[in-house]
Every structure is written in C-alpha cells, then in structure tokens.
Amino acid sequence: MRSSIVYPFLLSPIAFSLASPIVERVGSNRDERHEIFNIDWEKELFGRNSPVPLAERADASIDAIFKKLGKLYFGTCADSGSLSQTSNAAVIMADFGQVTPENSGKWDTTEPSQGKFSFGGLDALVNWALKNNKLVRGHTTVWHSQLPGWVSAITSKDTLTTVIQTHVSTEIGRYAGKILQWDVVNEMFNEQGGLRSSVFSTVLGEDFVRIAFEAAKKADPAAKLYINDYNTVELGSTYAKTTGMASYVKKWIAAGIPIDGIGAQAHLAAGQAKNVPAALAILCAAAPQCAMTEMDIVNAAPADYVTAVKACVDIPNCVGVTVWGVRDPDSWRASNNPLLFDSAYAAKPAYSALVATLGGVSPNATPSPMPTTPLASVKPTVTSATTTSAYW
C-alpha cells in the first residue's frame, strides 16, 4: 500500500492485511512491505517485463497512471454521505480523479414531485469535486428505475415529452460547464438487445432517446453525452445486448442524435474479465467515446481487474474507468468483496496489480480534450420557489 493513499494529516495510521496476521502500517519502508508488493504483476499476468523498474512505479496513484496513458480519469462513485467520511474522502483525493454521484442525480431524488427540484446532494458532490480538482460524471437523467410514481403514470406522448425535456434541461443545465460527461439515458436495453419495457419506451417508443439527448445537448453543449447499460461487456462480444446496443447507437448517431459515448457498467462476476476486451471494442467502435462506468468484480482477483481495465487502456477512444465504490463494505455487492480497498481502506492486491502493471505500459494514446468552460463552483442553494433541497 502506498503511503500517499491517505493523507497523514487526515487519517491515523491504517493497518493493511491480506487475510493473515501480517500487517503493514501506512508509511512503512518499502523493504518492510508484505511480499505481495514485490510481485511483478506485469510478468505474472502477461509474461513480460516493463523497462520501468517495479520499484519506480509502485508509489503512484492509479488515476495519475491512467492520465499518463492518455486517459481522462480513473474514478469512483460517491455522494455527500460518503464524502463526509474523512477516510473515504482521503482515499478519493489521493487515488481517484473523478467522482460519479451514486444516487443524488437520479430522478426520484432530483424531482420527486413534478416541478419540485431538489439538488442538495448533487450540489454537495459537485462542489466537493470542484474544490478538490476532480472531474464529475453526471448520473443519470432518464432511467426506468428509481423513478417517481408521477412519471410512471404518464400516458400522454406530449406530456411525457415535455416532462423529459424539463427534467433533463433543468438538471444538466444547472451544472453546465461543470460536469464532464452525463449518463443521459441509463439501462434502456433488454437482454435480447431491444428496448426495455418502461414508461418511456411504452409511450414514446425509441424516440425518447432523441428527446432526452437533444434536451441534454441544448442544456450543456460542452458535456459529453452517454448512453449507459449493464451486461454489455460482461457476457462477451456476441451477446445480444452488446450487439444490439452497438447497432442502435450507430443508427441514432447517423440520424443526428447527439450521442457522444457508450458507457459499459462492467459489473463482473469472477472470471468474466476475459470477455471485456472484445465486447468493449465493439461498443467503442459504435460511438466517438466510450468508458467503463460502474466496474466491480466479484472477489476482486488481480488478474480480473488488470484484464478488464487494460481493455480500456488498449482502446484509444476509451477515456476512463469508474469503479463503483471505494471499499468493499460500502459496495452494493458487499458480500462479494468486489472493490479495490478493504474495510480498513487498505489497498487490496488488485489495486497493487493495476499500479504495477499499468505503470509499466508505454503511453500511446492522445488524451481526449477537456471541457473549455471554467469549472466554477455550483451555487449551494436554489432560489426558485419550486425548488427544495433534501440535504441543505
């Protein structure tokens, strides 16, 4: 574990364990580290050695390494609650370059009643990110889940069109110039590669995609607009949902719908990482950008994490990877221990494998352009009489 993973002035020393009595305290000398840190993961996993010595690349954050490889970020999810936890925030500041709101950007939180907007939680996350020089991925404006009942009850095309336009433009417009990417539409495909049944597809058919993306583009022309889904890299390049998503996105882009990127969630079972490279290549070929947006892997085997993450490294227009949480106990799959840090915020072997392996990869990509709009702080309160804050 790197001594820079946590800031000494924020945290007391944290013990690192590998499910054994052997521990290492933050800040110990390299020679005293557990033998796991002396393994050359690049040699173990790929059968080759980098010209950059292992000792010279162990003490770097995965985000810094990713940026050196031409990527925009290596991120994680958070919300105001997790950011208020000193240990959690310190790890994000040290090791991650981007935060995605886990729940505070979803419809049931931001507009629980029609026209009554609540942005307290999302304001807190965006302000924290800007203060700490982190990028933000917006998540998510149009999704069939965590959807208020008043939206689900709509049966009129005209009404639902207006509701989508109002919701998307209000949320995305509020943070214009401050959020790098938005998951405009989330989880809209079924496992057969067609449209999932939802109020959006039932009332509007696939046209709800155009309505949402056009509203998003108008609200923030600088943001990169994504369509995001799961089981798109997990099950292989021939899986119907993967090929269906790629086909639809190509068609929509050709029709002028302003889709900038495809997000692959990458909630992987143990051993599924081998499916990621080929499946991700298909998705990335369908849009100008792509990213892995919610990665977690059952049991967090080092080889699985390296294989999955390196798939993004190897694709020029894959701009970043987001893991869905910092430490295992806070994951939505907590019993599967799927993340890069354990309950004590100690880096697990998968993190060390990523740092050691990717730290030795030669940069060969051109970084995607960053937003040109200044990232000014978001106002912490909303003045509209029809807007309330659930947090502030």
State the catalytic residues: 187, 294
CA distances from 60 to 94, 96, 245, 359, 379 (A): 10, 11, 36, 8, 34
CB contact set of 9 (below 8 Å; sequence gap of 6+): none
C-alpha closest to that of 318 among 193, 218, 233: 233
- Residue with the two structure tokens 């352009």: 369
> CA-CA distance, 33 to 18, in Å (whole number)?
12
C-alpha closest to that of 250 among 268, 227, 232, 231: 227
- Residue with the two structure tokens 């994000």: 92
